[in-house]
Amino acid sequence: MSSQCALMITWRLTEADIRLFVTLIRFDEVYVVHFKCNKKLLREYPNLFNYTKDIYQIPGMSSTVNMQHIKQHYYGSHPFGIIPRGRDIDYSCPHDREKFSA
């Protein structure tokens, strides 16, 4: 993802942004372990991580994320049902996306 665009295509939130957000918000907590997508964590991609934090901080967006429920769904459906604690990732911490404001 380019460091020179605020949202994927335009200045406003799009369906594509929301669909990507749903994947990105789960990445470090679920996909890295469950699907073995462990080359890098989302936090190791500064532009993607800041993009995710930017969308998470849109009013009303954080209330749609229930990480405990997400982890119970993915890991609970596995035959062993072991749900890892994981990390407490603070998506409400500051991001550097304001540099793209017009």
Residue 90 falls inside a structural domain = yes
Residue 88 falls inside a structural domain = yes
For residues 45 and 27, the answer to whether their CB atoms sit within 8 Å is no
34 — pLDDT class (breaks 50, 70, 90): confident
- Under 8 Å CB-to-CB from 18, ≥6 apart: which residues? 55
- Under 8 Å CB-to-CB from 33, ≥6 apart: which residues? 84
More confidently predicted of 94 and 6:
94
Please state the domain count of the chain.
1
Residue 43 falls inside a structural domain = yes
Query: What does pTM read for this prediction?
Result: 0.79
Q: What is the pLDDT of residue 69?
A: 93
